[in-house]
Structure 1
Amino acid sequence: MMRSLYVIVAVLALHTGLKAQQHDLYTFNPRQYVCQYVDTPLEIDGKLEEKAWKQAPSTDKFIDIEGTIKPLPYYDTQVKMLWDSQYFYIAVELEEPHLWATYDQRDMVIFHENDFEVFIDPDGDTHHYYELEINALGTIWDLILTRPYRDGGQPIDAWDIRGLQSGVHLNGTLNNPDDEDKSWTVELALPWSVLEELAPHPGPPNDQEIWRVNFSRVQWQTEANGKGYQKKTDPATGAPYPEHNWVWSPQGAIAMHQPETWGLVQFSNTPPGKRIRFNGQPNLEAIRWQLRQLYYKQNDWHETHGAYTDDPSQLGLAGEPITVIAGADYFIALYELGDLKVRIREDGKIDQIHPTEAQE
């Protein structure tokens, strides 16, 4: 049985020098999902009536973006995923007694109202990743992030997912406070012909390939007005109450743009209905997380000293198999564990060095 990653980290700490701090273990245990293969294309209507959807497992219920330190969401949200040779299929059911959406033009800032959001980093390097948002009207906002905002990333808002299929089904009535609704469901088909732009290779994933993925639900407190709903305001400030951010894999902070803490989705050639376990790469994930700690600490060091350090011991990482090259405005850190070599840069990009690359 696959052990959770935080247990694996404890083992690696004994055998490879990895020293995950106690408060880091929480964010090193991302949620996992095995996405299974379907032979017949799905009808994208938001109703989720196909046998494949009924057989596909649901993710864990969404929790607060900060994790278990916050109260559980008061409405349930769960996702299912499937794939075939053409599409990555995503379906979600969102419990909702007050269906509300007014944004009706593509690329509006959908999260200013209630929405569902998808984040995909195919190669897991935390750079060049996809974001897609949709509301109960079916309005889409899709974009590419060149890198996280913390690292100076810019959104490419004019980019569209060519060939995207989407469907929304309402179990209730939209913008009508005179009744109580039940839920809304979203069904998406994202073409591999587009997702491959940022993927490790052309075409669909290979069997057992793992991508970084996360899902978010933005939920505002609302109240009825003469036309439908509006955001509920705080009498003390006159401003709307802050939105809730409920996610599949918790971020440990109110920050969706931390791809290193997204969940792990493994694509499998097995059909839905057949039980299969996630088969991850715990050594690789542990090393990535250790290098991410170095990145955080290097940023703190730079803020204090005006330059990065090439001495891991100054970052509390003495004895680790890490080599660092650094200057005033750059660093490259390399972690070597046998043939496994992983590096990270000052801009946060992390990648694995494969044997063929090392020989060049």
Structure 2
Amino acid sequence: MRCPEFWSRTGCLIAGLGFLRLLLDATLAVGQPVMAPDSLLPFAPRTYVCYRTDRPLHIDGRLDEPAWQAAPWSAPFVDIEGPRRPPPPYRTRVKLLWDDTYLYIGAALEEPHLWATLTRRDTVIFYDNDFEVFIDPDGDTHAYYELEINALGTVWDLLLLKPYRDGGPALDAWDIRELQAAVALDGTLNDPSDTDRGWTVELALPWEVLEEAAPEGRPPRPGEQWRMNFSRVQWPLEVVDGRYRKRRDPATGRPLPESNWVWSPQGVVNMHLPERWGYVQFSALVAGTGTEPFLPHSDEPVRWLLRQLYYRQLLFRERHGRYARTLDELEVPADRRTRYRLTLQTTESLYEITAALPDGARLHIREDGRIWKTRPDAP
């Protein structure tokens, strides 16, 4: 991974401990307890119910097959930072389907200026306008997938072992085997002489690959949920000598910053906060034959509580040169400690915080951000 280039955007503008300072100092400034939702963006990930298709889809970039017509659209994309930024001027939406072989993803992007330049797979596609997919099958924030595609249909797919904030490498050479990907253009590519209408993306991602990081190493079952997000990068363009190019800052000559529009907002310009992604629930119903409500998991508030303590531990270590050794040092209110039977174990370089769930299971989070569940009857 080209870290200096990559951190200019996705790694990102508010990265690592800089993000944590902004997040937690804002909380402290208004006198909120540690467990309060952060002041940058309340925890409210978007949700989507993914229905089945009863026949394989032909991947040509056009979302015109009956199964696609029956699948619901997502809510329109918003700015990555959430409602404190203006809404995007062009609409972007996604829809999903699944069968026993593939997860299908369709996207529609309004675009008056179709533009793309990159043609080699696994280059940094977000240097063009693009559409992006992020999938964390087991929701532990580790071992998740990213895929980017531009209007030429050029793909960059990679596996991230950990988020960049936790020192995780990105496996750039990793590929989604048997991936099917196509785009369809409603307009003319790289032609500033006319006004275009947009482009659509159609993807088929094999479960045989996605199950590598999935719970129990298998595809989802009806009723189960995976964490996902979808993003669109949009560069401001200008026309010079009859060709598109990125608009530049007159003072520096460098391209102006891009816009980042997403399905489920992150609160900061950083897609690599998997705990902020949305939830996709898989349904046994065939699209168009009925509807199923999204059913949130009861342990999600506890997961978010542990995530806030993870943020606090990182900031504590930056300020004091070590992790907090007690819940008192993390300023955890007594009622929360009792309600969730919180425990903290710390060494010089490691820690683990656990919380109890009503069914007897326990949630754990550790210093590298991974969160997982154990049960007392587990071997």
Distance 1:218 1:147, change over 3 A: same
Q: Distance in 1 between matches of 2:134 and 2:302?
A: 23
Q: Distance in 1 between matches of 2:35 and 2:44?
A: 12
Q: Distance in 2 between matches of 1:226 and 1:172?
A: 20
Q: Which of 303, 306, 323 is the aligned partner of 2:321?
A: 306
SS in 2 for 1:72: coil
Equivalent residue, structure 2, for 1:198 = 213
- 1:330 equivalent in alignment to 2:345: no
- 1:116 equivalent in alignment to 2:131: yes
- 1:276 equivalent in alignment to 2:292: yes
- 1:245 equivalent in alignment to 2:265: no
Give 1:280 deviation, angstroms. Answer: 1.7
- 1:147 equivalent in alignment to 2:139: no
SS in 1 for 2:69: helix
Partner amino acid for 1:254?
Answer: V
- Matched-pair contact (CA < 8 Å) for 1:231–1:240: yes
Give 1:45 deviation, angstroms. Answer: 0.6
Q: Distance in 2 between matches of 1:114 and 1:192?
A: 27
Partner amino acid for 2:277?
Answer: W
- Matched-pair contact (CA < 8 Å) for 2:37–2:43: no
- Matched-pair contact (CA < 8 Å) for 1:331–1:346: yes
Q: Deviations over 1:98-129 (max 9, x none)?
A: 00001000001000110000000000000010
Q: Distance in 2 between matches of 1:355 and 1:83?
A: 34
Q: Distance in 1 between matches of 2:105 and 2:365?
A: 31
Q: How large is the RMSD of aligned CA atoms in angstroms?
A: 1.4
Q: Distance in 2 between matches of 1:165 and 1:22?
A: 40
Distance 1:226 1:118, change over 3 A: same
Q: Distance in 1 between matches of 2:40 and 2:306?
A: 14
Partner amino acid for 1:341?
Answer: R
Distance 1:227 1:25, change over 3 A: closer
Partner amino acid for 1:346?
Answer: E
Q: Distance in 2 between matches of 1:304 and 1:23?
A: 19
Partner amino acid for 1:266?
Answer: Q
- Matched-pair contact (CA < 8 Å) for 2:192–2:242: no
- 1:80 equivalent in alignment to 2:101: no
Q: How many residues align?
A: 340
Give 1:314 deviation, angstroms. Answer: 1.8
- 1:343 equivalent in alignment to 2:359: no
Q: Distance in 1 between matches of 2:164 and 2:242?
A: 36
Partner amino acid for 1:350?
Answer: I
Scaled by the length of structure 1, the TM-score of the pair is 0.92
Q: Any stretches of 5+ residues in structure 2 without a counterpart?
A: 1-32
Report matched runs for 1:1-360 at 5 Å.
20-23=35-38, 26-226=41-241, 228-273=243-288, 274-281=290-297, 283-319=298-334, 320=337, 321-338=341-358, 339-357=360-378, 360=379
Give 1:131 deviation, angstroms. Answer: 0.4
- Matched-pair contact (CA < 8 Å) for 2:72–2:95: yes
Partner amino acid for 1:195?
Answer: L
Q: Distance in 2 between matches of 1:262 and 1:24?
A: 17
Distance 1:193 1:73, change over 3 A: same
**Most deviating of 83-92 and 316-325:** 316-325
Q: Distance in 1 between matches of 2:137 and 2:175?
A: 17
SS in 2 for 1:23: coil
Give 1:225 deviation, angstroms. Answer: 2.5
Give 1:227 deviation, angstroms. Answer: 5.5
- Matched-pair contact (CA < 8 Å) for 1:142–1:159: yes
**Most deviating of 139-148 and 300-309:** 300-309
- Matched-pair contact (CA < 8 Å) for 1:209–1:267: yes
Equivalent residue, structure 1, for 2:29 = none
- Matched-pair contact (CA < 8 Å) for 1:309–1:327: no
Partner amino acid for 1:326?
Answer: T
Q: Deviations over 1:41-94 (max 9, x none)?
A: 011111111111111111111001100010100110000000000000000000
Give 1:271 deviation, angstroms. Answer: 1.3
Scaled by the length of structure 2, the TM-score of the pair is 0.87
Q: Percent identity?
A: 54
- Matched-pair contact (CA < 8 Å) for 1:31–1:249: yes
Distance 1:269 1:24, change over 3 A: farther
Q: Distance in 2 between matches of 1:119 and 1:317?
A: 32
- Matched-pair contact (CA < 8 Å) for 2:235–2:257: yes
Give 1:25 deviation, angstroms. Answer: 8.9
Q: Distance in 1 between matches of 2:372 and 2:40?
A: 21
- Matched-pair contact (CA < 8 Å) for 1:172–1:183: yes
- Matched-pair contact (CA < 8 Å) for 1:306–1:328: no
- Matched-pair contact (CA < 8 Å) for 2:35–2:332: no
Q: Any stretches of 5+ residues in structure 1 without a counterpart?
A: 1-17
Give 1:24 deviation, angstroms. Answer: 5.3
Q: Distance in 2 between matches of 1:68 and 1:109?
A: 28
Give 1:19 deviation, angstroms. Answer: 7.5
